Structure 1
Amino acid sequence: MKGGYLFTLYLLLTMTGFSQPARPDTAATFTNPLLPGGPDPWVIRDRGVYYYMATTGHNITIRKTKAMSALAAAPATVVWTPPAQGPDARDIWAPELHRLDGKWYLYYTAGSSDSVHPQHTFVLENTAADPTTGNWTSKGQVRDTAADDFAIDGTVFTYKGQRYFIWSGHNGKDNVQRLYIARMKNPWTLVSGRVEIAAPQYPWEKNGINEGPEILVNKQKDVFLVFSVSGCWTDDYALGLLRLKKNGDPMVAANWTKMPEPILKGKPENGAFSPGHNGFFKSVNGKEDWIIYHANSRAGQGCGGQRNPRMQPLAWDRNGLPVIGEPVKIGVPQQQPGGE
């Protein structure tokens, strides 16, 4: 009942446009999509520079820019190419860059050259200040107690001094993609067994998929997990939301509550089909929260490279819940993030 009340209030606030983020007093604009293609986009800002990456399928490429609205003009650097043979030789997906313990770590999904073993998550380390420079050293597969199970889309977050790893995977019994969490000893080693915190349960979570987990934290330090649902090969791809109980242990599944409706779904009239697999970042002035996600511009385009990155600001309602609204229309000028 409590979850239903929160979601009803959430819908009312969304429809009335409550707590829309303040926009900068400028005529400078950009339009979506940011690039012609770029599935599974990820952005991190460090020392005044944004680093962007997305799935290429065959390598890991980083773009660097001081303004996300100018991403198309940002130089692109291939920082890692997979080996010809081995467990991470093909199907390079969903790279994520994190600054941990004074070093850079790149988490990515890859498959084995033997075409037998399923996709797993791996990590690279770089000691350079700029992740587009220096040398990337493999730290191997991020292994949990079910190391042979399908495991993709790994992400990292720190809560109350403890670092956690969250990913999408199988349970070894069926092909349903579930979300798992484990404690980390260091950026490449898990120190606990995995705990399932989410599995498809609603009609809009079609095709048995929960994937692409991403952490979002509000000003009150409430923790949310935004995730992708359904299959990228369908037009039903969308974003769902989990909320961690206040001061709750992330390793206790009951402490995570799933909202009963998606927080972002397709809008054909806006040229937005299958929106999902996102990241979050702050504006240059630090006053705005933005989401970056991919979507197809036409129906039936599926999982290919035509999935393109888009960004838009998000708001917060009175209960601290994120409000994304609907995908903004492609080709329509939007105000740049504050400070650009």
Structure 2
Amino acid sequence: MIKSNDYTNPLIIQRADPFIYKHTDGYYYFTASVPAYNLIEIRRAKTLSGLAHAAPRTVWRKHEQGPMSQLIWAPEIHYIGGKWFIYFAAAETTEFDNNGMFQHRMFCIECDNQDPMASEEDWFEHGQVKTPLNSFSLDATCFEFNDKLYYVWAQKDPQIRGNSNLYIAQMENPWTLKTEPVMLSKPEYEWETRGFWVNEGPAVLHHGDHFFLTYSASATDENYCMGMLSISDQKDLLVADNWDKSKKPVFQSDLKQHQYGPGHNCFTVAEDNQTDILVYHCRDYTDIKGDPLYDPNRHTKVQPFTWNSDGTPNFGKPVPYNYQ
């Protein structure tokens, strides 16, 4: 049985918004925001621990100007229909818009090589993944179910208080929405509105006959935490009322262990192909100078999690650092 102390934590230093995908070739593929927010890199290894020492390969760099020239955030790598895709958010400027928000939009790039790390030239741009709202949007993820591709993301609605809500839509292809967006969640509870009113960083997990959608809430300091939505896979995923929302965070800071602001998670499976693994970023201090966004010490961590008797995930608490 795989235990938390089987992995060194943090696994990868100064990599926020981590995403790990285990492919059919037996490799784990890892990407995340880099501290300079200026490029997208991938690393891979046969084991999760091996990712810590794997050499990163840059596959895309920000433009000199235009919509993809600033603040490259939260890339995710997916394998859809036999091809590689990366979703990420980017902005044209570091300035705020009229709502006091960054000006990010969501973008998609595709690789026409079965080896996504072969060359930068193998990746080409599909441009912006457009939604009906032309507003701050980020943290896109996707999943397939019953031969349908779904897209989940965070976006600002100027008519709703806060920074971002969570939306879902079916996709025509990996870079085009097919259906109108459906809002699944907005910041409403006290733990979702500390510092900023935020629902972002969605991650989707299918277990048994249910989907679980975790997300991150509040400011990116020690208040950052994870909430969760759930739905039976027999119900229509595009009907908001079919989703149940947890009234309490499902993963949050552990002050005794000095683990602060765990969030922006994803899920993968351990080397035994049985143990479920929670991937997230976290800090070990609260004395942040300036904007927490520009503090580079959000580190990638991994830990196994279990399942409750009612079929819901039990993430436990953020494991302490255990440099080996």
Confirm whether residue 125 of structure 1 aligns to residue 110 of structure 2: yes
In structure 1, what is the equivalent of residue 100 of structure 2? none
Report the residue type matching 1:221 in the other structure. Answer: D
The 8 Å contact of residues 141 and 151 in structure 2, kept in 1 or not, is answered as yes
In structure 1, what is the equivalent of residue 308 of structure 2? 317
TM-score (norm 1): 0.86
Shift of 1:113: 4.4
Report the residue type matching 1:54 in the other structure. Answer: A
The 8 Å contact of residues 34 and 308 in structure 1, kept in 2 or not, is answered as yes
Shift of 1:330: 0.8
In structure 1, what is the equivalent of residue 217 of structure 2? 229
Q: What percentage of residue pairs aligned between the two structures are identical? A: 32
CA distance in 1, matches of 2:162, 2:309: 38
Local SS of the residue matching 2:188: coil
TM-score (norm 2): 0.90
Local SS of the residue matching 1:227: strand
Report the residue type matching 1:43 in the other structure. Answer: I
In structure 1, what is the equivalent of residue 138 of structure 2? 152
The 8 Å contact of residues 109 and 122 in structure 1, kept in 2 or not, is answered as yes
- Cα displacement string for residues 220-244 of structure 1 (whole angstroms, at most 9, x for unaligned residues): 1310101000011x31100111001
CA distance in 2, matches of 1:307, 1:116: 23
The 8 Å contact of residues 84 and 113 in structure 1, kept in 2 or not, is answered as no
CA distance in 1, matches of 2:81, 2:7: 35
Aligned length: 307
User: Structure with the greater relative contact order (CA < 8 A, sep ≥ 6): 1 or 2?
Assistant: 1
Judging changes above 3 Å, is the alpha-carbon distance between structure 1 residues 116 and 238 closer, same or farther for their aligned structure 2 residues?
Answer: closer
The 8 Å contact of residues 228 and 245 in structure 2, kept in 1 or not, is answered as yes
The 8 Å contact of residues 245 and 257 in structure 1, kept in 2 or not, is answered as no
Shift of 1:205: 0.7
Pick aligned residue for 2:68 from 88, 97, 114: 88
Confirm whether residue 192 of structure 1 aligns to residue 179 of structure 2: yes
Confirm whether residue 299 of structure 1 aligns to residue 290 of structure 2: no
Shift of 1:116: 6.7
- Cα displacement string for residues 79-120 of structure 1 (whole angstroms, at most 9, x for unaligned residues): 100110111111000000000011100000000148577101
Pick aligned residue for 2:275 from 276, 288, 307: 288
Pick aligned residue for 1:179 from 132, 147, 166: 166
The 8 Å contact of residues 22 and 28 in structure 2, kept in 1 or not, is answered as yes
CA distance in 1, matches of 2:115, 2:209: 29
- Cα displacement string for residues 108-164 of structure 1 (whole angstroms, at most 9, x for unaligned residues): 000014857710110000021121114110001011111x11110000011222111
Q: Matches of residues 129-144 of structure 1 in structure 2 within 5 Å? A: 129-134=114-119, 135-144=122-131
CA distance in 1, matches of 2:96, 2:317: 40
Report the residue type matching 1:285 in the other structure. Answer: D
Pick aligned residue for 1:101 from 64, 72, 81: 81
Q: Unpaired segments of 5 or more residues in structure 2?
A: 98-102
Q: Matches of residues 1-340 of structure 1 in structure 2 within 5 Å? A: 22-23=1-2, 29-46=6-23, 47-56=25-34, 57-113=37-93, 115=95, 118-134=103-119, 135-146=122-133, 148-173=134-159, 174-206=161-193, 207-218=196-207, 220-232=208-220, 234-301=221-288, 302-303=292-293, 304-331=295-322
Local SS of the residue matching 2:49: helix
Judging changes above 3 Å, is the alpha-carbon distance between structure 1 residues 241 and 128 closer, same or farther for their aligned structure 2 residues?
Answer: same
Superposed CA RMSD: 1.8
CA distance in 2, matches of 1:245, 1:102: 28
CA distance in 2, matches of 1:189, 1:158: 15
The 8 Å contact of residues 225 and 261 in structure 2, kept in 1 or not, is answered as yes
Shift of 1:75: 1.1
The 8 Å contact of residues 30 and 42 in structure 2, kept in 1 or not, is answered as yes
